[in-house]
Amino acid sequence: MTFKRIVSGLVIAGVVGGGAFLWLTQPQRLPADVWTAVNAPDLANGERMYHAGGCASCHAAPGAPDDQKNVLAGGLALKSDFGTFHAPNISPDETAGIGQWTLAEFGDAMKQGTGRDGEHLYPSFPYASYAHMTVQDIADLYGYLKTLPASANVAPGHDLPFPFNVRLVLGGWKWLYLDDGPRVELASADDSVKRGQYLVEGPGHCGECHTPRDILGGLKTDQWLAGGPNPEGEGRVPDITPREGGFGSWSAGDIASYLETGFTPDFDSVGGSMVAVQKNMAALSKEDRDAIAAYLKAIPAR
Amino acid sequence: MKFRTLAAAAMIAAFGAGVVVAADEPQVVRQEMMKKVGGAMGALAGIAKGEKPFDADVVKASLTTMDEVAKAFPDQFPPGSETGAETEAGPKIWEDAAGFKAESDKFAASIEAVLASPPADQAAVGPALGSLGASCKSCHEVYRVKK
């Protein structure tokens, strides 16, 4: 009798606890008035966010020539330790793309990782970084994406093994890792460094590749931008903290020049996934590239 | 004691021989060639940015260095040198040897076009550098695997 009571007590506790966990980690939406309070979209700023965010690097059709990069037809395969993700069509097509999404739905995807149907999105879409973006910048980006060409391409779904194909587990991931606070403490930060922090930690989502991940795929924020094994193949993603004997030898001017021209101080040319990123960075203003460089000089060396 | 001395001598000899062999390996030779091009690009960029004074001889020497490398470069990829010495040579170099040679020839041709009428002042160095830099990237993006 006592034994049965203990067992049934444990079962009830398990059900209640599991239920509470699912309730706590259910997909979140921001209050609707967040999105009605914004100004009319500034399309020039939206285009800046589009380049800073690198949307085309994943969402353009794989191998699309430069003049077709703004057709966000989707389909690129992203291989990871958890399976293969496929970037969806985010062109303004009414059925294949996101043409019917409201600003609130788009914004909840960007800031909360919540999809249009109220499902958890996979963090291969870097909402853990985009969560740092301002509501107005997201509204401007939303307005700009509407101006791009529509594509009827139906991108393939993700190809993930169990348990990663169960979206409910992502609630736990978000509970552990979705945090829109600053990634590092900066001892002192002028306006340029702060702008750089915003661009790097938010839209630029640099940390998604340049910061090592733990076993559950969360960023090791105590190793912020310290580099790590390349999740997409051979070699390493470089440490871009101002470490002596490493990236610290690059001046702020060297970093800004690299982002503009694609050449390192030794005149090696940009390689790998950074080729596409550098092209996006080249489309930003000089002030923004200088800001990124200033921030990278201001963060702690690892 | 004598054994230790002999062993040490043998180790030094082996190590020394290893270094000599390594320096002859195509992987190392072509890395050095690319470093030469990088150095030449750096000299031109210094002038283009106004950090160094314009010097027609430096411009010509830099372009000549690049031209020499571009001509000899495609011959540095014999079978068996696909891996080792941290090479970043991509598999496409061997899969599409003709395409790789064509890229290299294109680079040489663009250098020679600049050499035929070299930049006459500081302002002309930047545009010349831009056209050569585009060749670096277009070849690297296909035939080099960045590690």
> Binning pLDDT at 50, 70 and 90, where does residue B20 land?
very low
Q: In this prediction, does ipTM exceed 0.85?
A: no
Residue B17 lies in a domain: no
> pLDDT tens digits for B108-123?
999 999 999 899 999 9
Residue B1 lies in a domain: no
> Binning pLDDT at 50, 70 and 90, where does residue A259 land?
very high
Nearest to A69 by CA among A77, A61, A81: A61
Q: What is the mean pLDDT of residues B23-49?
A: 90
Residue B116 lies in a domain: yes
pLDDT at B22: 60
Which CA distances in Å does A296 have to A252, B109, B110?
Answer: 8, 39, 36
pLDDT at A184: 92
Identity of the residue in B88, B133, B147 whose CB atom sits nearest the CB atom of A263: B133
Range name among A47-56, A137-146, B6-15 with the lowest pLDDT average = B6-15
Residue B18 lies in a domain: no
> pLDDT tens digits for A27-67?
999 999 999 999 999 999 999 999 999 999 999 999 899 89
- Provide the shortest C-alpha distance from residue A97 to chain B (in Å): 30
Which of A261, A268, A273, A277 should one mutate to test binding to chain B, selecting the residue with the greatest count of B CBs within 10 A? A268
Q: What is the mean pLDDT of residues A196-200?
A: 98
What letter would DSSP give residue A268?
A: P
Looking at the structure of chain B, the number of domains it has is 1
Please state the domain extents for chain A: 33-177, 191-298
B51 touches chain A (CB under 8 A): no
> Binning pLDDT at 50, 70 and 90, where does residue B7 land?
low
Residue B128 lies in a domain: yes
> pLDDT tens digits for B57-85?
999 999 999 999 999 998 998 898 888 88
pLDDT at B66: 93
A262 touches chain B (CB under 8 A): yes
Residue A10: Cβ-neighbour burial (10 angstroms; 0-12, 13-18, 19+): exposed
Q: What is the mean pLDDT of residues A56-82?
A: 94
B41 touches chain A (CB under 8 A): yes
* Contact at CB, A266 and B42, closer than 8 angstroms: yes
Q: How far apart are CA B45 and CA B130, in angstroms?
A: 10
Q: Which domain holds residue B42?
A: 26-143
- Under CATH, what is the fold of the domain A191-298? Cytochrome Bc1 Complex; Chain D, domain 2 (1.10.760)
* Contact at CB, B146 and A262, closer than 8 angstroms: no
- Provide the shortest C-alpha distance from residue A230 to chain B (in Å): 9
Q: What is the mean pLDDT of residues A128-151?
A: 98
Identity of the residue in B35, B42, B136 whose CB atom sits nearest the CB atom of A269: B136
Q: What is the mean pLDDT of residues B133-141?
A: 89
The set of long-range contacts for A156-159, using a CB threshold of 8 Å and a minimum separation of 24, is: A156/A75, A156/A86, A157/A86, A158/A83, A158/A84, A158/A85, A158/A86, A158/A122, A159/A83, A159/A84, A159/A86
Identity of the residue in A262, A265, A266 whose CB atom sits nearest the CB atom of B137: A262
Q: Mean pLDDT, chain B, as a whole number?
A: 84
In the predicted model, is pLDDT for residue B12 greater than 80? no
Side-chain half-sphere CA neighbours of A53 within 13 A: 28
B141 touches chain A (CB under 8 A): yes
In the predicted model, is pLDDT for residue B8 greater than 70? no
* Contact at CB, B140 and A269, closer than 8 angstroms: yes
In the predicted model, is pLDDT for residue B6 greater than 70? no
Q: What is the mean pLDDT of residues A94-110?
A: 97
Alpha helices, DSSP H only, in chain A? 2-24, 33-36, 43-53, 55-59, 103-112, 127-130, 135-146, 169-177, 191-201, 207-210, 252-261, 274-282, 286-298
* Contact at CB, A267 and B39, closer than 8 angstroms: yes
A·B CB contacts under 8 A: 43
pLDDT at B23: 66
Q: How far apart are CA A163 and CA B136, in angstroms?
A: 44
Specify the CATH number for the domain of residue B45: 1.20.120.10
Q: Mean pLDDT, chain A, as a whole number?
A: 93
| Residue A238, φ and ψ in degrees, nearest 5 | -70, 150
Nearest to A293 by CA among A243, A268, A258, A244: A258
